Structure 1
Amino acid sequence: MFWLLLGLLFIILYLYNYKKLNYWTNKGVKQKKTFLLYELYKMFFMKKSFVELLQDTYNEFPDSRYSGSFQLYSPLLVLKDSELIKQITVKDFEHFTDHINLVPEGIEPLWTSNLFALKGDKWRDMRATLSPAFTSSKMRAMFALMSDCAQEVAKYFENHQGESKSIELRDLFTRYTNDVIATCAFGVQCNSIKQRNNEFYLMGNLATDFTGIWKITKLLIYMMLPKLSKILGFSFFEKSVSIFFRRIIKDTIKMREENNVTRPDMIHLLMDARKGQLNYDENIAIQDAGFAAVEESEIGKTVKKVKDVITDDDITAQALIFFFAGFDSVATLMVLMAYELAVHPDIQERLQNEIDIVLEENDGKITYDAINKMKYLDMVTSETLRKWPPNIVINRVCVKPYTIPAVLPDEIPVTLQVGDAISVPVYGIHRDPKNYPNPEKFDPERFNDENKVNIEAYTYLPFGSGPRNCIGSRFALIETKVVYIHLLAKFNIVVTEKSEIPVKLSKTGFNFNSKNGFWFGLKLRDS
Structure 2
Amino acid sequence: MIGVDILTYGFDQFMMLPLIIGVALLVTLFYYMCVKPMYYWQEKGVKQTDPVWIFGDNLGTTFGTERFIDMVDRCYNKFSGNRYHGIYEMSQPTLLIKDPELLKKITVKDFDHFMDHKPIVPEEVDQLWNKNLFSLRGKKWREMRPILSPSFTSSKMRTMFILMSKCAEDFVNHFLKKNQDCFELEMRDTFTRFTNDVIATAAFGVKVDSLEAPNNEFYLMGKEATNFGGIVNMIKFFGLVFCPKIMQFFGISFISRSVNNFFRKLVDDTIKAREENNIIRPDMIHLLMEAKKGIHHNEETVEVDTGFATVEEANMGKKWREMRPILSPSFTSSKMRTMFILMSKCAEDFVNHFLKKNQDCFELEMRDTFTRFTNDVIATAAFGVKVDSLEAPNNEFYLMGKEATNFGGIVNMIKFFGLVFCPKIMQFFGISFISRSVNNFFRKLVDDTIKAREENNIIRPDMIHLLMEAKKGIHHNEETVEVDTGFATVEEANMGKGHITELTNTDITAQALIFFFAGFDSVSSLMCFMAHELAVNSDIQIRLRKEINETSVSCGGSITYEALLKMKYMDMVVSETLRKWPSALVTDRICTKPYTIVPVTADENPVHIEKKTLIMIPIFGIHRDPKYYPDPLRFDPERFSDENKGNINTFAYMPFGLGPRNCIGSRFGLLETKLIFFHLLFHFELVPVKKTSIPMKLAKGTFNLMAEGGFWLGLKRMKK
For normalisation by structure 2, the TM-score amounts to 0.71
1:461 to 630, 654, 657: 654
Q: In structure 2, what is the Cα distance between the partners aligned to 1:188 and 1:300?
A: 35
- After superposition, where does 1:219-368 map in structure 2 within 5 Å? 219-285=237-303, 288-299=305-316, 304=497, 306-368=499-561
CA contact (8 A) 2:145 2:498 kept: no
Displacement of 1:203 in angstroms is 0.5
Matched, 1:172 2:365: no
Residue 23 of structure 1 aligns to a residue whose secondary structure is helix
Q: 1:163 to 1:50 in 2, by over 3 A?
A: farther
Partner of 1:487: 680
CA contact (8 A) 2:594 2:610 kept: yes
CA contact (8 A) 1:131 1:300 kept: no
Displacement of 1:74 in angstroms is 1.4
Letter in structure 2 aligned against 1:101: P
Matched, 1:429 2:622: yes
- After superposition, where does 1:27-426 map in structure 2 within 5 Å? 27-39=44-56, 41-160=59-178, 162=180, 164-285=182-303, 288-299=305-316, 304=497, 306-426=499-619
1:79-118 CA distances to partner (integer Å, 9 max, x unpaired)?
0001000000000000011100011011111111111111
1:373-398 CA distances to partner (integer Å, 9 max, x unpaired)?
10000000000000001022110001
Displacement of 1:360 in angstroms is 0.4
Letter in structure 1 aligned against 2:590: V
CA contact (8 A) 1:66 1:77 kept: yes
Displacement of 1:142 in angstroms is 0.7
Letter in structure 1 aligned against 2:47: K
Partner of 2:339: none
Displacement of 1:7 in angstroms is 9.6
| Gaps in structure 1 of 5+ consecutive residues | none
Letter in structure 2 aligned against 1:294: V
Displacement of 1:132 in angstroms is 1.1
CA contact (8 A) 2:582 2:620 kept: yes
Displacement of 1:165 in angstroms is 2.1
Q: 1:3 to 1:217 in 2, by over 3 A?
A: farther
Q: Percent identity?
A: 52
Q: In structure 1, what is the Cα distance between the partners aligned to 2:500 and 2:257?
A: 30
1:402-438 CA distances to partner (integer Å, 9 max, x unpaired)?
0111111111101111110101100000000000000
| Gaps in structure 2 of 5+ consecutive residues | 1-15, 323-496
Displacement of 1:309 in angstroms is 1.9
Q: In structure 2, what is the Cα distance between the partners aligned to 1:143 and 1:51?
A: 34
Displacement of 1:233 in angstroms is 3.4
Letter in structure 1 aligned against 2:315: E
Displacement of 1:514 in angstroms is 1.8
Displacement of 1:159 in angstroms is 1.6
Alignment length, in residue pairs? 526
Letter in structure 1 aligned against 2:620: Y
- After superposition, where does 1:431-450 map in structure 2 within 5 Å? 431-450=624-643
CA contact (8 A) 1:128 1:299 kept: no
Q: In structure 2, what is the Cα distance between the partners aligned to 1:289 and 1:47?
A: 41
CA contact (8 A) 1:182 1:188 kept: yes
Partner of 2:461: none
Alignment RMSD (CA, Å): 2.0
Letter in structure 1 aligned against 2:42: T
Q: In structure 1, what is the Cα distance between the partners aligned to 2:499 and 2:689?
A: 53
Q: In structure 1, what is the Cα distance between the partners aligned to 2:158 and 2:215?
A: 30
Q: In structure 1, what is the Cα distance between the partners aligned to 2:286 and 2:661?
A: 24
Displacement of 1:298 in angstroms is 2.6
Q: Mean alpha-carbon deviation: is it higher for 76-85 or for 308-317?
A: 308-317
Q: In structure 2, what is the Cα distance between the partners aligned to 1:236 and 1:299?
A: 34
Displacement of 1:221 in angstroms is 2.8
Q: In structure 2, what is the Cα distance between the partners aligned to 1:163 and 1:193?
A: 18
Residue 160 of structure 1 aligns to a residue whose secondary structure is coil
Q: In structure 1, what is the Cα distance between the partners aligned to 2:29 and 2:293?
A: 57
Letter in structure 2 aligned against 1:482: L
Q: Mean alpha-carbon deviation: is it higher for 78-87 or for 127-136?
A: 127-136
Displacement of 1:214 in angstroms is 2.2
Displacement of 1:195 in angstroms is 0.5
Matched, 1:502 2:519: no
Q: In structure 2, what is the Cα distance between the partners aligned to 1:334 and 1:10?
A: 51
Displacement of 1:16 in angstroms is 3.5
Letter in structure 1 aligned against 2:628: N
Residue 215 of structure 1 aligns to a residue whose secondary structure is helix
Displacement of 1:366 in angstroms is 1.1
Q: In structure 1, what is the Cα distance between the partners aligned to 2:182 and 2:258?
A: 33
CA contact (8 A) 2:684 2:715 kept: yes
Letter in structure 2 aligned against 1:191: D
2:33 to 13, 16, 41: 16
